[in-house]
Amino acid sequence: MELQGNDSLEEFSRRLVQLGLKGYVTDVMLRPEQYQLLQIEAPAVAPEELRSAARYQIKEMVDVHLDDLTIDVLKVGDGQGRAASQLFVVAANNAVVRDVMTLANALQWDVRVIDVQDMAQRNLQSIEEPERATCALMISEGRQTLLTISAGRELYYSRRLDLPDGFMGMTWTAAITEQQAPLDAYTPVEEYVPGYAGGGYGSDFSTTGAAPASAEQSDIDRAQRLLVEVQRSIDLWERTWTNLPLAGVKVFAGERSDELAQWLSRDTGQTVSALNTGIAFKALGQISAADLPLCLPLLGVLLRTEVRKA
């Protein structure tokens, strides 16, 4: 895995040339921080007018001028029934797309597609049970994680969830003892997040109360906020898509994937398991633990089957 780090685009491209990465056919994936994925009511226009109509509809949902954005539209799910009335809109700053193409030109790449991580994650979670509805949650170092729900190899739902600082090194849940409920027992999630508003939660992860909490308990309290948001997303899905019952949740958190699966399984009542991509990528074990969170979404792009129509 080669990262740009603090290098300029020119320095990075020079480094890639030295690695012999010039002249390839390339698929590019934007990271979530490089674009917005918005959901709108599908405008009643001809297919060739969708982008123009969608651009107008998102003007109140973005914080930059519309002329500074490159947009594309994607169907929600299979585009049938309830899904037919909705559209996903991908909006990326022109500067982001320009940097991608500047790098591609410097390395003489033939760029087939510029994809987004939501779609790559959809591909990964569809490996084991492609036709059934599954939820995927992939966590790595950073302040956000991506939750997606797909069915029939189509993306129906995507949401970004905030993470407290240092989440991957925190204690997420109290240790289970013989006196406590077994892992498959359902423990309802409490609706207690004071900063919740409009689909997210506040950035204040501090605890309240008269007695100071231990560091471990403080971690557990902060981690509980993620659990609440995952449960809210699942609840919304079950209310909205009653014809597509959720078959399970696939999670990735590096070396803590099994721990995350056990925690969410116990506290949401869902069937949760670690994401298994070894079925499609036999050499996955050769990737280092440090590089795997960066590589997995890129491997999802390789599973892309859509053919872009002009």
Instruction: Look at the chain and count its residues.
Output: 310
Quote the domain boundaries for residue 239.
117-310
Last residue of a domain, one of 108, 134, 167: 108
Same domain, 96 and 135: no
Domains contained in the chain, number: 2
pLDDT digits (tens, 9 = 90+) for 223-279: 999 999 999 999 999 999 999 999 999 999 999 999 999 999 999 999 999 998 776
pLDDT reported for residue 117 = 96
How many whole angstroms separate alpha carbon 40 and alpha carbon 52?
13
Give alpha helix (H) positions in the chain: 9-18, 50-57, 94-106, 117-125, 215-240, 257-268, 292-302
How many of the other CB atoms lie within 10 Å of CB of 155? 23
- Both 128 and 200 in one domain: the answer is yes
- List own/partner pairs for 47-55 with CB under 8 A and 24 or more apart: 50/87, 54/87, 54/89
> Is 99 within 8 Å of 62 (Cβ atoms)?
no
Q: Is there a single domain that holds both residue 82 and residue 192? A: no
Confidence at residue 213, expressed as pLDDT on a 0 to 100 scale: 64
Which of 51, 86, 108 is at the close of a domain? 108
In this prediction, residue 141 carries a pLDDT of 79
**Do 157 and 279 sit in the same domain of this protein?**
yes
- Based on the fold, state whether residues 131 and 48 are members of the same structural domain: no
130's tokens: 């492609």
Exposed, middle or buried, 21 (CB in 10 Å: 0-12/13-18/19+)?
A: middle
Q: Which residues of the chain carry a pLDDT beneath 70?
A: 175-213, 279-280, 306-310
Q: What is the pLDDT of residue 189?
A: 52
Q: Are residues 64 and 146 both part of a single domain?
A: no
Regarding whether 300 and 158 lie in a shared domain, the answer is yes
Any domain includes 148? yes
Q: Look up the CATH number of the domain holding residue 249.
A: 3.30.420.40
Q: For residues 115 and 61, what is the distance between their CA atoms, to the nearest angstrom?
A: 21
Query: pTM of the entire structure?
Result: 0.84
Q: What is residue 193's predicted lDDT score, i.e. its pLDDT?
A: 41
Q: Do 77 and 176 fall within a single domain?
A: no
pLDDT in tens, 9-41: 999 999 999 999 999 999 999 999 999 999 999
